Amino acid sequence: MTQDRPAPRILIVEDDDAAARAAETAARDLGAQPTRVASYAEGLAEASAGDYAVIVFDRMLPGGDGIEAIAQLRATGSTALVLIVSALGRATNKIEGLEKGADDYLAKPFDPDELRARLRALLRRAAMVLSDSDLVAFGDLEIRVKARTVHVGPRHVPVSPKEFELISYFARNAGAVVTRMQLLENVWNLHFDPQTNVVDVHVGRLRRKLEQAAGRAVIHTERGEGYVFDPARSGA
Amino acid sequence: MSALRRSASLRVTLAIAAGIVLISLSAMGLQYQLTARALAARQAELLQSDLQAFAATYQQRRIPALRQAIDFRSKTMLPDEAIYLLQDREGVKLAGNIGGWPVGITPEGTGFEATPVLGYDLPLGPGGDRIAYRGIARELPGGFRFLTARAETPREVTLAGLRAVILPVAAGLVALSLLAGWLTSRWVLARIGRINRLADRVAEGDLSARLPGARPDDEFGLLETHVHAMLDRIEALNRATQRLSDLIAHELRTPLNRILQKIRMLEAPGAQKQALEAEIHATTRTFNALLDISSAEAAGGARPGLLPVDLAGLAGELCELYQPLAEDRGMVLVGDLPGPAMVLGERNLIAQVLTNLLDNAMKFCGPGDRITLSLSPEGDRHLMVVEDTGPGLPPEIRAEVTRLFVRAPRDRAVPGHGLGLALVQAIATRHGARLALPETAQGFKIEIAWPKLT
């Protein structure tokens, strides 16, 4: 990310101190400037007044449910991306939240890393200049969106349709940590956590294919956190 | 009309209509009988008064007086109303309004006694028509034969007139009763149908459904009021339960979250912190599974929230998700999924069923085992079968394995909370699907029959 732009602002609407502090920490870690309020009404007022890139909304707030705020926010013309962070954390709650316009939904209790990864993905989306370019290139690694092909230099890397979706999601979040849960939700559209490490196996396969073709690691593991797609980084 | 045929109210109305018709017909029948009897009695009286008059005449001056009396009557009476005949011992007619002694009549009884009175059928009508008579034929002292009888014709004419009235009246009565019955049953059905449609909507999960419009001040109105009161109560209870589970979620997850945030700040070895974090996530998972089970059970059979889902497509996706893991573990995962197989469901819940079953297979099977996920149509159902060649279920827990927290003692070392199959069962119930655990020679087999989307 270019550093001469002003730090993006993140609004945190959360009445639980620990959760709010975790969100503030995550925001500062990402170079964003957090603002914190603790009730539904304040949240809504602040969200419509300020220019926020991302809003972190709790659900069971004094005065209301963050999900109900989304429609009102959109009505005021706010384009801020909304991350719901809530104790209502069952798959059904998440799907309801996403259907009502939330851009992402994180259940409590959450790992600080998970929150940071979600926030980073949203900040990136907020800053992203939409390009309809068919070709996404990272050095010699090229992804052709329409043809759904991956090449490293002249070498074609054969990927399954799911693996293509996986690498596309990684590419959109290149350089940033992507968690297993994010992959399950965004690539497989599953909003619960299987007990087995199915995602790791898929990432492992894609990683080996890319590594074989590129002669270097392309997807890196962040211990305990997730994966980073970074074709430029050297070493594992 | 088939609804009408099955309806209880119509049956009752038909029974009432039949009752009305039966009572009316009986009343008319009784009336007919009474009339017939009264007419017969009148004819008998006329005959008896004739007999008494003749007897008195005979008493005074014997045959000449009788002859004179018969002559007198014969002048005013035609044979189709009453017949009189007096003959001497040679069979010569002395007086009367008929030509001769009718064939087939033999005198019976003595003098002018009241009995026996007999029925005669004589061809004395205009053109020789037969007429029914009741009267007497006697032989008087000296060989004189005397015959007098009254025609039944006036009685027959009156009764025939009565019969001619009774038949159309009965037919009209039946038609009117049926019409009344039909109107009544239509009215009752409409009132009951309203309440039944409300019950259907509630059964489909719309607890806030109510009947529109004013309620009349009758039994049906009262029933509607009662149903509404009941629904209000159910809705309030349901909301309270929902609110309670939300509150529990909030009150449990918020402190768990505080703990999780603080673990990161602890001065402790990384492995220990990760173990603590894993513990918290496992607790949350158990908690989620329990809430999912109870909400799936609560929503059992309800329609709102269900959308068309292609079982084959979804099962294919999950097969693909687990395929590499199975390969890595040396197992064979085969999907036999001819599609599309449409059901009405919640994609996420069905995915959870498949994930739980495939997770279990991965947990319990070993290298070389084969896991099959298949779909086939069976009548009005899509039969989903997940089968493996692993260790299978210990027989002692087969019957109760879909209950909460039931695990085999054998599997203590395998991670899990004993909620997987309970959740599968609850989600199947929520979709109106039937679950079966057929016995197999080897391995585990589960069948879920999902209702087809029609």
A81-86 and A104-107 beta bridge pairing: parallel
Cis bond leading into B409, ω under 30°? no
Dump pLDDT digits (tens) for A69-96: 999 888 888 889 999 999 988 888 899 9
User: Domain check: are B11 and B150 in the same one?
Assistant: yes
User: Domain check: are B152 and B9 in the same one?
Assistant: yes
Q: How far apart are CA A12 and CA A119, in angstroms?
A: 11
Dump pLDDT digits (tens) for B106-128: 888 878 887 788 888 888 877 77
Nearest CB neighbour to B261, from listed A18, A91, A192: A18
Instruction: Compute the mean pLDDT over every residue in chain B, rounded to the nearest whole number.
Output: 86
Total beta-carbon pairs less than 8 A apart between chain A and chain B: 107
Instruction: Compute the mean pLDDT over every residue in chain A, rounded to the nearest whole number.
Output: 89
> Starting at the edge strand that comes first in sequence, how are the strands of the sheet with A219-222 ordered?
A177-178, A226-229, A219-222
Q: Which of A89, A166, A63 has the alpha carbon at shortest distance from B320? A: A166
Task: Count Cβ atoms within 10 A of the Cβ of residue A107 and give its class: 0-12 exposed, 13-18 middle, 19 or more buried.
Answer: buried
Q: Contact A196/B348, CB-based, under 8 Å? A: no
Dump pLDDT digits (tens) for B170-226: 888 888 888 887 888 788 878 888 888 998 888 777 788 898 888 888 888 899 999
Sign of the CA dihedral running B409, B411, B412, B416:
negative
Helix or strand or coil: residue B292? helix
Q: Contact B254/A192, CB-based, under 8 Å? A: no
User: Domain check: are B266 and B330 in the same one?
Assistant: no
Task: Count Cβ atoms within 10 A of the Cβ of residue B26 and give its class: 0-12 exposed, 13-18 middle, 19 or more buried.
Answer: exposed
> Starting at the edge strand that comes first in sequence, how are the strands of the sheet with B434-436 ordered?
B332-336, B370-378, B381-388, B445-451, B434-436
Residue-level pLDDT at A1: 45
Which of left, alpha, beta for B307 (phi over 0: left; psi -120 to 50: alpha)?
beta
User: Domain check: are B281 and B343 in the same one?
Assistant: no
CA-based R_g, chain B, Å: 49
Which residues in chain B have their CB less than 8 angstroms from residue A21's CB?
A: 261
Which residues in chain A have their CB less than 8 angstroms from residue B257's CB?
A: 16, 18-19, 22, 87, 108-110
Higher pLDDT: B302 or B359? It is: B359
Q: Contact A109/B260, CB-based, under 8 Å? A: yes
Which residues in chain A have their CB less than 8 angstroms from residue B250's CB?
A: 60, 87-88
Say how many CA atoms lie within 13 Å of B448 toward its Cβ.
Answer: 25
User: Domain check: are B75 and B133 in the same one?
Assistant: yes
Which residues in chain B have their CB less than 8 angstroms from residue A196's CB?
A: 322, 325, 359, 362-363
User: Domain check: are B53 and B114 in the same one?
Assistant: yes
Cβ of residue B260 closer than 8 Å to a chain A Cβ: yes
Secondary element (H or E) of residue B140: strand B131-140
Model pTM score: 0.69
User: Domain check: are B290 and B313 in the same one?
Assistant: no
Q: How far apart are CA A19 and CA B261, in angstroms?
A: 8
Q: Encoding tokens for residue A59? A: 């659900």
Residue B288 pLDDT > 90: no
| Residue B376 CA to its chain's centroid (Å) | 35
Q: How far apart are CA A178 and CA B307, in angstroms?
A: 31
Strand partners for A178: A227
Which residues in chain B have their CB less than 8 angstroms from residue A99's CB?
A: none
Boundary residue ending a domain (B111, B135, B157): B157
> Could you give the percent of chain B with pLDDT greater than 70?
97
Q: How far apart are CA B387 and CA B262, in angstroms?
A: 44
pLDDT-based confidence at residue B2 (cuts at 50, 70, 90): low
Q: How far apart are CA A85 and CA A60, in angstroms?
A: 10
- Residue A226 φ then ψ, to 5°: 160, -140
Cβ count within 10 A of residue B298: 15
Task: Count Cβ atoms within 10 A of the Cβ of residue B342 and give its class: 0-12 exposed, 13-18 middle, 19 or more buried.
Answer: middle
Cβ of residue B416 closer than 8 Å to a chain A Cβ: yes
Q: How many residues does chain A have?
A: 236
Q: Contact B288/A112, CB-based, under 8 Å? A: no
With respect to residue B165, please indicate whether it lies within any of the assigned structural domains: no
Q: Contact A224/B324, CB-based, under 8 Å? A: no
Q: Contact B321/A87, CB-based, under 8 Å? A: no
User: Nearest-CA distance from B329 to chain A in Å?
Assistant: 11
Chain A residue at shortest CA distance from B319:
A198
Residue type at position B342: M
User: Domain check: are B427 and B315 in the same one?
Assistant: yes
Mean pLDDT to the nearest integer, B247-254: 86
Cβ of residue B243 closer than 8 Å to a chain A Cβ: no
Nearest CB neighbour to A89, from listed B259, B288, B351: B288
Strands (E), B193-313: 307-310
Residue carrying structure tokens 């008493």: B59
Residues 6+ apart with CB under 8 A from A86: A58, A59, A60, A66, A93, A97, A105, A106, A107, A108
B118-122 and A104-107 beta bridge pairing: unpaired
Secondary element (H or E) of residue B96: strand B93-96
pLDDT-based confidence at residue A2 (cuts at 50, 70, 90): very low
Chain A residue at shortest CA distance from B420:
A195
pLDDT-based confidence at residue A117 (cuts at 50, 70, 90): very high
Give the domain extent around B100: 2-157
Domain locations along chain A: 9-127, 135-229
User: Domain check: are B7 and B145 in the same one?
Assistant: yes
Q: How far apart are CA A120 and CA A173, in angstroms?
A: 9
For residue B434, give the CATH number of its domain. 3.30.565.10
User: Domain check: are B7 and B149 in the same one?
Assistant: yes
User: Nearest-CA distance from B334 to chain A in Å?
Assistant: 16
Cβ of residue B218 closer than 8 Å to a chain A Cβ: no
Asked if the interface predicted TM-score (ipTM) of this complex is over 0.90, the answer is no
Residue carrying structure tokens 């197989």: B341
User: Domain check: are B69 and B147 in the same one?
Assistant: yes
Q: How many residues does chain B have?
A: 454
Q: Contact B325/A224, CB-based, under 8 Å? A: no
Nearest CB neighbour to B325, from listed A110, A111, A196: A196
Q: Contact B246/A92, CB-based, under 8 Å? A: no
Nearest CB neighbour to B257, from listed A108, A189, A195: A108
Q: Contact B363/A195, CB-based, under 8 Å? A: yes
Chain B residue at shortest CA distance from A86:
B250
Q: How far apart are CA B213 and CA B215, in angstroms?
A: 7
Nearest CB neighbour to A88, from listed B246, B352, B355: B246
User: Nearest-CA distance from B274 to chain A in Å?
Assistant: 8
Q: Contact B292/A90, CB-based, under 8 Å? A: yes
With respect to residue B20, please indicate whether it lies within any of the assigned structural domains: yes
Which residues in chain A have their CB less than 8 angstroms from residue B322's CB?
A: 196, 198
Residue-level pLDDT at B219: 86
With respect to residue B231, please indicate whether it lies within any of the assigned structural domains: yes
Boundary residue ending a domain (B298, B319, B334): B298
Q: Contact A198/B321, CB-based, under 8 Å? A: yes
Q: How far apart are CA B122 and CA B105, in angstroms?
A: 10
User: Nearest-CA distance from B260 to chain A in Å?
Assistant: 7
Q: Contact A107/B352, CB-based, under 8 Å? A: no
Boundary residue ending a domain (B280, B298, B316): B298
Dump pLDDT digits (tens) for B56-66: 988 888 888 88
How many angstroms separate the most distant Cα atoms in chain A?
A: 59
DSSP letter assigned to residue B404: T
Q: How far apart are CA B246 and CA B287, in angstroms?
A: 12
Residue type at position A86: S
Residues B64/B86, Cβ–Cβ less than 8 Å: no
Sign of the CA dihedral running B34, B35, B39, B45:
positive
Q: Which CATH architecture is the domain A135-229 placed in?
A: Orthogonal Bundle (1.10)
Residues A180/A119, Cβ–Cβ less than 8 Å: no
Residues B349/B411, Cβ–Cβ less than 8 Å: no
pLDDT-based confidence at residue B415 (cuts at 50, 70, 90): confident
Q: Contact B261/A90, CB-based, under 8 Å? A: no
Q: How far apart are CA A31 and CA A26, in angstroms?
A: 9
Q: Contact B325/A95, CB-based, under 8 Å? A: no
Which residues in chain A have their CB less than 8 angstroms from residue B254's CB?
A: 16, 19, 87, 108
With respect to residue B181, please indicate whether it lies within any of the assigned structural domains: no
Cβ count within 10 A of residue B158: 14
Q: How far apart are CA B309 and CA B347, in angstroms?
A: 6
Q: Contact A192/B261, CB-based, under 8 Å? A: no
User: Domain check: are B316 and B430 in the same one?
Assistant: yes
Domain count, chain B: 3
Q: How far apart are CA B372 and CA B349, in angstroms?
A: 20
Residues B415/B397, Cβ–Cβ less than 8 Å: no
Which residues in chain A have their CB less than 8 angstroms from residue B317's CB?
A: 188
Per CATH, is A9-127 categorized as 3.40.50.2300?
yes
Dump pLDDT digits (tens) for B74-93: 888 888 888 899 998 888 88
Residue-level pLDDT at B370: 95
Dump pLDDT digits (tens) for A133-159: 788 888 889 999 889 999 998 899 999
% helix, strand, coil for chain A, step of 5: 40, 20, 40
Nearest CB neighbour to B280, from listed A109, A202, A205: A109
CA–CA distance from B283 to each of B134, B252, B277, B308 (Å)? 108, 10, 10, 33
User: Nearest-CA distance from B226 to chain A in Å?
Assistant: 34
Q: Contact B260/A16, CB-based, under 8 Å? A: no
% helix, strand, coil for chain B, step of 5: 55, 15, 25
Q: Contact A111/B256, CB-based, under 8 Å? A: no
DSSP letter assigned to residue B183: H
Nearest CB neighbour to B250, from listed A60, A95, A205: A60
Q: Which of B86, B151, B92, B91 has the alpha carbon at shortest distance from B112? A: B86
Cβ of residue B258 closer than 8 Å to a chain A Cβ: yes
